[in-house]
Amino acid sequence: MNIYPDFSEHNYQILSELGRNREGGRISYLAECLDTHQQVVVKQFRFAQEASWQGFKTYEREIQILQQIDHPRIPSYINSFETPDGFCMVQEYKDAPSLATKQSFTPQEIKQIILSVLEILVDLQQRIPPIIHRDIKPENILVDRDNQAYLIDFGLARVHSQDLAMSSVIAGTPGFMPPEELFNRPLTKASDLYSVGATAIALITNIPTSNLSDLIDDSYQFQFSHLLTGINPDFVDWLKKTVAPNIKDRFADAEAALAELEPIDVTGVAVKARKKNHRGIPKARGRLIAGVVISITVLSIVGTLQKLKPAANTSTPEQPVNLSNQSLSEEEQWFRQIKSRCNAVEVVTAMRNTTYPQTAKGVGYAASCYALAGRLDLADRLIQELPENLRVYAAAVVFNIGHPVADAGDDKSAGPIMDLVIRYWSNNYMALYHAGMSAYVLDDYPKAQTHLEEFLRVYQRQDGWTNRAKIALSRMEQGIPADASFSIHH
């Protein structure tokens, strides 16, 4: 009995399932053309099974972009057809596994694969306007027996110049998304390079895609050197430059990155003058992926903050982090000293008798102290005193301090803290999630529904977080309260 859909009227026979996309209703099949016996990939989109219009737009965008591309290492678009419950796109099949499959590569092979990916990006970036892929990761790179790479899945790509400015929805994969994507800032040709560098780091450290964020520390830097032996420091420097948090510190484009990488002997001796090595770098702590994405985003933001001058017209800082600063900042030291008194009994007196650092980051820590003590009114007042364009930075600090409260399941305390964060950082998807779940537990269904629906709109992924949000929304529609049978926090 054939368990696959019948596309014979469209001249295709399904041979096997290749995989399901992270959004519901999207399945890829290996198929054969009945006339030519050519093997192809049929990507099916079905409007049933929790499919979304966002997923439909993703397919539509992919078709539009693939129709413009004629590159030997990008599987070509063949055709598309409608089905009773959706439609299908047919694409060239490449007999090559993805980098996400369990494979082992030598350092030289990894270099060859990365060069191959960069060659594809050079072509895409030289087009007018350029094409930005936005979702480069091991799963979207196929590699043949000669270590030639093929780039797939252009569903999140952007081709028009105006699209490169900003997107209303965060796209990409945690650990592989550049900071500018996470914080909805303008994208450039260097944005895809971050994802290429992250992919190379995953390969050379043999870290699974789902765990890559464990290598990102609290100042938003990849820490992977301690996992490498016998690797040319020049190659390590090249990797660090591709994943620099500040887009201005990366290579300008794929052509520049390619030219720099080509002469490097990955396992050889460094040729260029070496900079001082960082010493004593702690191993990054493991975290839940979704939590890590927000936490590291927060710290990339707060690391940019500059001293406030009362009469100055302060603009939004552009430098995301201080790469050389491995010690506690003045603001962090202040918060460490006062944290034990950030409780309902002592907080007002403690804050009256101390002076917090007069920076946006300092305001964030002071507001966090009030927030932990339940004095959200005073926390809000502090943030309100900042220039409008710096309030998000203070909110980012509050989120970073309040996030463990939410993870611990203290819904009564976490909900108001996350509400405060959302007031100034409206697209912080984990704040939306925790605020919504806390409101659900506290039986505030209207607020819970508002936050969780916005979380689903912003997050745009299919994983455990979205599943729990959808379950909570469904239960609220049925009037079912949160109880022990429904696990909200993990």
SS3 labels along 315-345: CCCCCCCCCCCCCCCHHHHHHHHHHHHCCCC
Q: In whole angstroms, what is the distance from residue 400 CA to residue 433 CA?
A: 14
Residues 135 and 257 in one domain: yes
The answer as to whether 228 is a domain residue is yes
* 320 and 422, same domain (yes or no): yes
Element (H, E) at 447: helix 445-459
The CATH number linked to 359 is: 1.25.40
Q: Is residue 439 part of a domain?
A: yes
Cα 255 to chain centroid distance, Å, stands at 24
In whole angstroms, give the CA distance from residue 150 to residue 139.
11
The answer to whether 242 and 196 have CB atoms below 8 angstroms apart is yes
Residue 295 lies in a domain: no
228 with 115, same domain? Answer: yes
d(CA 30, CA 111): 30
Structural domains of the chain, count = 3
Name which of 324, 168, 302, 186 is nearest 248 in CA terms.
186
Question: 136 and 200 share a domain?
Answer: yes
CATH number for the domain harbouring residue 32: 3.30.200.20
- Does residue 99 lie in a domain region? no
pLDDT at 360 over 70: yes
> Which range, 92-101, 389-398, 420-429, 457-466, has the best average confidence (pLDDT)?
92-101
Task: Supply the pLDDT for residue 271.
Answer: 66
Residue 283 lies in a domain: no
Domain C-terminal end among 261, 278, 296: 261
Residue 11 scores a pLDDT above 70: yes
**398: Cβ contacts below 8 Å, ≥ 6 apart:** 364, 367, 368, 371, 379, 383, 417, 420, 421
Most confident of 260-264, 430-434, 466-470, 483-487: 260-264
Given a cut of 50, is residue 163 above it in pLDDT?
Answer: no
SS3 470: helix
What percentage of the chain's residues is helix, strand, coil (to nearest 5)?
Answer: 45, 10, 45
d(CA 382, CA 371): 11
The residue count for the chain: 490
218 shares a domain with 358: no
Return d(Cα 176, Cα 406) in angstroms, integer. 25
- CA-CA-CA-CA dihedral for 402, 407, 408, 414, to nearest 10: 40
| Domain final position from 261, 295, 330 | 261
Which helix (H) or strand (E) segment is 29 a member of? Answer: strand 26-33
SS3 string, 187-205, reads: CCHHHHHHHHHHHHHHHHH
Residue 235 falls within a domain, yes or no?
yes
Q: Is residue 385 part of a domain?
A: yes
pLDDT band at 320 (very low <50, low <70, confident <90, very high): very low
Residues 6+ apart with CB under 8 A from 253: 122, 125, 189, 190, 193
Q: Which helix (H) or strand (E) holds 438?
A: helix 429-441
Tokens of 226: 């301690």
Rounded to whole angstroms, what are the CA distances from 458 to 50, 54, 270, 429, 431? Answer: 17, 11, 44, 6, 11
Domain extent for 418: 305-477
pLDDT at 265: 94
Average pLDDT over residues 72-95: 91
Q: In terms of domains, do 27 and 124 share one?
A: no
Higher pLDDT, 25 or 383: 383
What's the CATH code of the domain at 201? 1.10.510.10
484 in a structural domain: no
- Position 129 pLDDT exceeds 90: no
Judge if 114 and 249 occupy the same domain: yes
Higher-scoring residue by pLDDT: 252, 429: 252
* Nearest residue to 219 via CA among 245, 242, 247, 237: 245
Do 116 and 166 sit in the same domain of this protein?
Answer: yes
Is the same domain home to 328 and 210? no
Same domain, residue pair 336 and 471: yes
Detail the DSSP E strand segments found in 243-348: none
Domain-terminating residue out of 92, 127, 150: 92
Residue 129 carries which DSSP code? S
Average pLDDT rounded to a whole number, residues 237-254: 95
Which amino acid is it at 22? R
Model's pTM, two decimal places?
0.57
Residue 401 has pLDDT above 70, yes or no: yes
Together in a domain, 50 and 129: no
* Pair 18, 138 in one domain: no
